[in-house]
Structure formats: C-alpha cells, structure tokens
Amino acid sequence: MSKLVIASIGPASSVQDGGRPGAQRYGLVPSGAMDRLALAAANTLVGNEPFMAAVEIGPFGAKFTARGGAVRIALTGAPRNADIAGRAVTSDASATLVDGETLTLGFARGGAFSYLAIEGGVIGEPMFGSLAVNARAGLGSPYARPLQSGDELPAKTASGAPERRIELPTATDAPIRIVWGPQDDEFTDETRKLFVDSEWKISATSDRMGYRLEGPILKHLHGHNIVSDGTVNGSLQVPGNGQPIVLMPDRGTSGGYPKIATVISADLGRLAQIPAGHAFRFRAISMAEAQAEARKFAELLRTLPERLRAIESVDLNIDALHDANVAGHAVSAVDAGTWHAVSMVDIAGPD
C-alpha cells in the first residue's frame, strides 16, 4: 500500500468528510467539511463517493510526499500555487504523484480552505460513523487532531485512471443569504435592517467552531440570555457584545444566545471560504426560496460526475504557433530549417 507523508502543513488542517449527521440529539457535534461542494468535487475527480474523507487544508501552505507507490490525488477549493516535483498543478483537477514525488502547495488566495482527495479515500477507523476530526472533542481518524509534519496517510496505490478536471459554477461575491430566526423577535426592525444593510468582516479569531463577525453592534430587546436550545450549521447567534457569531461544523449542539438569523445551507460553504478581513453582506430571503436553493444545491452535488472533463494536453508545435500568428514567423532553436537568415537589408533597411 502507498501513503502520503506530510512534510509540512499549516494550522487549521485536518481530515474531514461529510460529518456525523443525525446524532445531535445525543450531544454529538456534527463536524465535517467547511465547504461541502469543494469536498464533493475533489472526491468526484478521483472516483470516490462525494463525502468520503479528504484532507481539509487551511490558508497556509503544505507539502505531501508519496511513499511506497504512486498516489492519485485531486485538489479543489481555495486557489493556490501548486506543483508536483516542479510541474504545475491546477485546481479542480486530478493528478498523480509517483513514488518519491512531492506535492507543494502555497498560501490560499481569495479563499480559506482547499481539499486534497486521495483515490480510495483517507483510510482510518470511523468514530461514530465518520473520520471527521473535532480536536476539542477528541474525535476523528487517523489522527484525532489537526494534521502536522511527519503524519502519514495510508493510501490506495494509484489506479492509473486518466486524469480529469471538473467544471464548477463560477465563484461569486453576491451577499450571503439568510432566513430570519428563530429568535429574530429578540431584535427590533431597525436592528434587523442594520444587520442586512451593513458590511461585515470575519475576525481572525474565527475557527471551525464559529466565525466571529466584525461590524456594527446589534442590540437585544430583552437581554442576551435565552433558554438554551438547539443550533444548526449557519446559526447566527448574537452574544452580549452585540457582535454576531456564525456557528460552523464544530459548533456546540445547543446555545443560549438569541439567533437573529440562519445562513442558508447552499451558502454556508461560500461563507466558510471568505478570508478574514474581507468585507461582505447578508441578504434575507424567504423560507421557500431557501428550500429551493437547497434543492438546487443537492442537484449540483448529484450531477458532479457529469461535470468531469478530460485534461487535454497542449502541443505547442511550430505549425500551431504559425497558424496562431502570435509572433510572426515561428522558429525552432533545434531545427535549422526554420531559421531566418539575417541579411544586410534586414540590418540597414531598404534604400
């Protein structure tokens, strides 16, 4: 069996899959990928089920080396410079590392998380039905903590399948959509209007448990404490300081702050990818619209295999360059028949 050895990796990087749905009633944190579309796309590229475990890589760079055989991988999510032994690797595509080669990833650009899927999935022992890591709860496999230098990820030896790319919807800076509630009645109409009319930024103190927002102070009508009740991914709770927190996959299963709104499930991955300090807005929609967007998102996930395309090699031969007429007469340094002899007319010009 092959393996990927982590030569270096930054914080906020861990093994994640589709999470642990259905057990929140028992106090079990759901966890799972911050950007479910990017996870599903990476897995689809290497022939895995959409929500199999992969490596969720935070904003910093990383290096992975194949040992014991070839390893086929795919990279999606936040754009970043990437290469395998000096060969450029594009995002939203698969590639294969032969034994001894290293995949080098730079810093994320315009996003927060990338996903590295391995053909056959990350191998580990499921905990409550999932490999998803929640370090606070001590859950996850093969390492119940963030990944670090020296960790080894067992992998299926590459099948030799042709490499693929995937066509995903174009990224957008549109406002993050919300539905009001369940405790929006704890805020005045003016406060709700302030919430959707203002620009917000994600604090650098944010993590997989919650995204702390920086913006105007939201005032409560009846104080900031309520009887604790259940939360969901995307719950927008407002603590005593009036600065909202968006609850993310490693959140607690219940909370005692009023929740002014909830980010719709179709937009949660897009919110997760917003870099700290980048301004954005919210937009309120109806429950019916949110449900329609959830159905569209589910259909997008279902049809990901239909978005796969072959990676076409580009042959920059002399004839192709000549036909393109990009630089006049194209020549080859190793083919004297294409050279253009320099005459005195060329140097001095015509009389």
In tens, the pLDDT along 74-115 reads 999 999 999 999 999 999 999 999 999 999 999 999 899 999
- Which comes out higher in pLDDT, residue 170 or 52? 52
pTM over 0.85: yes
The answer on 159 and 14 residing in a single domain is yes
Is the residue at 137 inside a domain?
yes
pLDDT digits (tens, 9 = 90+) for 127-163: 999 999 999 999 999 999 999 999 999 999 999 999 9
Is the residue at 151 inside a domain?
yes
| pLDDT attached to residue 223 | 86
* Orientation of helix 287-302 relative to helix 36-45, angle to 10°: 10
Using alpha carbons, select from 119, 123, 117 the residue that is nearest to residue 141: 123
Q: Is the pLDDT score of 322 beyond 60?
A: no
Is the residue at 311 inside a domain?
no
The answer on 75 and 129 residing in a single domain is yes
The answer on 181 and 154 residing in a single domain is no
Is the residue at 152 inside a domain?
yes
Is the residue at 114 inside a domain?
yes
> b/e string for 230-263 if b means 16 or more Cβ within 10 A?
ebbbbbbbbbeeebbbbbbbbbbbebebbbbbbb
Phi and psi at 271, nearest 5°, equal -65, -45
Q: pLDDT-derived band of residue 198, with 50, 70 and 90 as boundaries?
A: very high
Q: Is the pLDDT score of 331 beyond 90?
A: no
Q: Is the pLDDT score of 327 beyond 80?
A: no
Query: What letter would DSSP give residue 200?
Result: B
Mean pLDDT, residues 223-230: 90
- Which comes out higher in pLDDT, residue 327 or 214? 214
The answer on 293 and 325 residing in a single domain is no
- Which comes out higher in pLDDT, residue 323 or 28? 28
pLDDT digits (tens, 9 = 90+) for 293-317: 999 999 999 999 999 999 875 444 4
Which amino acid makes up residue 270?
A: R
The answer on 161 and 202 residing in a single domain is no
The answer on 155 and 57 residing in a single domain is yes
Where does a domain end: 104, 132, 166? 166
| pLDDT attached to residue 313 | 55
Is the residue at 309 inside a domain?
no
The answer on 287 and 340 residing in a single domain is no
Is the residue at 124 inside a domain?
yes
Q: Which residues contact 34 (CB under 8 A, 6 or more apart)?
A: 16, 56, 112, 113, 208, 248, 249, 269, 272, 273
- Let me know: does 253 contact 28? Beta carbons within 8 Å: yes
| pLDDT attached to residue 104 | 97
The answer on 335 and 223 residing in a single domain is no
- Hunting for tokens 């429950």 — which residue is that? 287
SS3 25: helix
The answer on 193 and 155 residing in a single domain is no
Which amino acid makes up residue 154?
A: P
Tokens of residue 232, six digits: 């969901």
The answer on 159 and 23 residing in a single domain is yes
| pLDDT attached to residue 133 | 97
Q: Is the pLDDT score of 336 beyond 70?
A: no
Q: pLDDT-derived band of residue 225, with 50, 70 and 90 as boundaries?
A: confident
| pLDDT attached to residue 332 | 47
Where does a domain end: 166, 194, 229? 166
CATH of the domain at 265: 2.40.100.10
Is the residue at 342 inside a domain?
yes
| Owning domain of residue 332 | 318-348
Count of the separate structural domains present in the chain: 3
- Which comes out higher in pLDDT, residue 23 or 248? 248
